[in-house]
Amino acid sequence: MEQASTTEQSQDNNKDKPSIGEKHGYSIITAIIIALLTCGYLFYILPNNKAKEDRNNIAVLQGIEQQLKSYIDDQVKYIDDDKMKSLGLLCYKGSLSTYIDTIIVKKEKIGEVENGTINLSRKIVLSGRPKNSSKYPKENCASLDTIDDPVSIDLAKFLTKVNSTTHFTSFFICPIENGTCQAYKSFISENVSLADQDSLIDNSRKNGPFDFQGSTKHYYANQVKIPNTNYAIFLATGIDNTTFQINIREIDNNLLIISLLLVIVLVLGINFIKPIVSSYKERLSQKDLISVAFSIGILIAVLVVFSIISYWDNSIKNRTTNDLKTLVDRIDTNFKDQIKSYQNWPTDSRFKDKREASENNFTKIYLETGSKISSVNGDSLTKDDISLRNEEKYIDIKSSTLQKATKDSIKLAHLDNYFRMNNYGLITTDLSTSIPNIRRKYADRMYFEILQRKNENNQNERKINKLLTAVFSRENNRYQWIYAERNPISEEKGIKGIAFREYFSEKIILPPGTGYMIIDRGGEVLMQNDPEKNLYQNLRYGSKRNLELISLLSGVDQKSFELEYQGTFYQVYAKKLDIKIDSPLYILGIRNLSHLDRLAIFTFSNGFLISLFYGFFILLITYIYSALFYTGRLSLLSNQHFYHLFPDNSRTYQYKQLLIVNSIAILFIVIVSLISSPSIALTTCIITGFNLVLTNLITLNIRTLKREKDLIILVLILFVITILLLGIIFFFNSFPIAIFILFSAHAVLIFYYRNWRKEDTENLEQFKKQNKGVNRKAYTRFMTVRLIYHFAIFPFVLISAFYINELNDFASYYCSSDQIKEKITAQTKKQSQEQSQDYAVNAYSCDCTETKEKPLIVSNSKDYLIEKANIGFLDRPAMYEIKNFTFYPFKDLYYLSSTSFLKNENIHQSFVIILTLFIGLFFLIILVYHLLNYYSNHFFFYDLMQAAYEKYYPCTKHELANDHIFIAMVNNDDIKKLIQVPPGPIKTNADIYQDMTGCVYRDISIDQVFDKDNRRNKEDIKKDTKDKEDEKHNGNNEISPFLRMNFILNYNHNKFSAEYNKIWKSLPRDGQTRSVLYDFAQDQFVNYKNKGIIMDLMEKGIIDCHPLTGRLKMMNLSFRIFILSKSKQDKFITKFKDESKNGTYSKLKIPIFIVAISALLLLMYLNKDSYDRVAVMGGSIVSVIALLNKFLEANKSL
pLDDT tens-place string over residues 66-112: 778 878 888 888 887 778 777 777 777 767 678 888 888 876 655 66
- Residues 6 or more apart whose CB falls under 8 angstroms from that of 546 comprise 539, 540, 563
Cα–Cα distance between 276 and 935 in angstroms, integer?
Answer: 9
Mean per-residue pLDDT of the chain: 75
1081 CB burial (10 A radius; 0-12, 13-18, 19+): buried
Q: Show me where the domains of the chain are located.
A: 32-248, 327-455+469-592, 593-755+772-901, 941-1142
Overall average pLDDT of the 563-589 stretch = 85
Share of the chain above pLDDT 70, in %: 68
DSSP per position, 1017-1039: -HHHHHH--S-HHHHHHHT---S
Cα–Cα distance between 484 and 342 in angstroms, integer?
Answer: 12
Cα–Cα distance between 966 and 767 in angstroms, integer?
Answer: 12
> Is pLDDT larger for residue 2 or for residue 438?
438
pLDDT in tens, 6-22: 444 445 455 455 555 55
pLDDT at 993 over 50: no
1178 with 1159: CB under 8 angstroms? no
Cα–Cα distance between 990 and 1009 in angstroms, integer?
Answer: 15
Cα–Cα distance between 25 and 1148 in angstroms, integer?
Answer: 10
* pLDDT value for 647: 92
Overall average pLDDT of the 294-316 stretch = 89
* pLDDT value for 934: 93
Q: How is residue 42 annotated by DSSP?
A: I
Q: Which helix (H) or strand (E) holds 708?
A: helix 707-732
Least confident range from 221-225, 410-414, 461-465, 1000-1004: namely 1000-1004
- Residues 6 or more apart whose CB falls under 8 angstroms from that of 602 comprise 802, 806, 874, 875, 876, 877
pLDDT at 461 over 80: no
pLDDT in tens, 179-221: 788 776 667 888 888 888 888 888 888 877 888 888 889 999 8
What pTM, to 2 d.p., does this model score? 0.79
pLDDT at 827 over 50: no
> Is pLDDT larger for residue 207 or for residue 488?
207
Q: At 669, is the pLDDT very low, low, confident or very high (cuts 50, 70, 90)?
A: very high
509 CB burial (10 A radius; 0-12, 13-18, 19+): middle
Overall average pLDDT of the 57-69 stretch = 79
Q: Which amino acid is residue 366, in one-letter code?
A: Y
Give 65-109 as a 3 state SS string.
HHHHHHHHHHHHHCCCHHHHHHHCCHHHCCCCCCEEEEEEECCCC
> Is pLDDT larger for residue 39 or for residue 26?
39
* pLDDT value for 931: 94
Cα–Cα distance between 935 and 1022 in angstroms, integer?
Answer: 58
pLDDT at 714 over 80: yes
- Residues 6 or more apart whose CB falls under 8 angstroms from that of 881 comprise 512, 513, 595, 810, 813
* pLDDT value for 1002: 56
Q: How is residue 792 annotated by DSSP?
A: I
* pLDDT value for 1109: 87
pLDDT in tens, 139-183: 567 666 778 888 888 887 777 766 666 778 888 888 887 778 877
746 with 947: CB under 8 angstroms? no
pLDDT at 3 over 60: no
pLDDT at 999 over 70: no
774 with 649: CB under 8 angstroms? yes
Q: Which amino acid is residue 435, in one-letter code?
A: I
- Residues 6 or more apart whose CB falls under 8 angstroms from that of 1003 comprise none
Q: Which helix (H) or strand (E) holds 440?
A: strand 439-440
- Residues 6 or more apart whose CB falls under 8 angstroms from that of 134 comprise none
Q: At 1148, is the pLDDT very low, low, confident or very high (cuts 50, 70, 90)?
A: confident
- Residues 6 or more apart whose CB falls under 8 angstroms from that of 532 comprise 161, 164, 477
Least confident range from 558-562, 674-678, 1152-1156: namely 1152-1156
- Residues 6 or more apart whose CB falls under 8 angstroms from that of 930 comprise none
CA distances 357 to 350, 368, 553, Å, are: 11, 17, 45
pLDDT at 989 over 60: no
First to last CA, the chain: 48
1087 with 1073: CB under 8 angstroms? no
Q: How is residue 791 annotated by DSSP?
A: I
CA distances 92 to 321, 673, 1193, Å, are: 52, 73, 97
* pLDDT value for 891: 59
Q: Which amino acid is residue 343, in one-letter code?
A: Q
532 with 440: CB under 8 angstroms? no
Cα–Cα distance between 1097 and 1091 in angstroms, integer?
Answer: 10
Q: How is residue 809 annotated by DSSP?
A: H
Q: How far is CA 10 from the centre of its chain?
A: 60
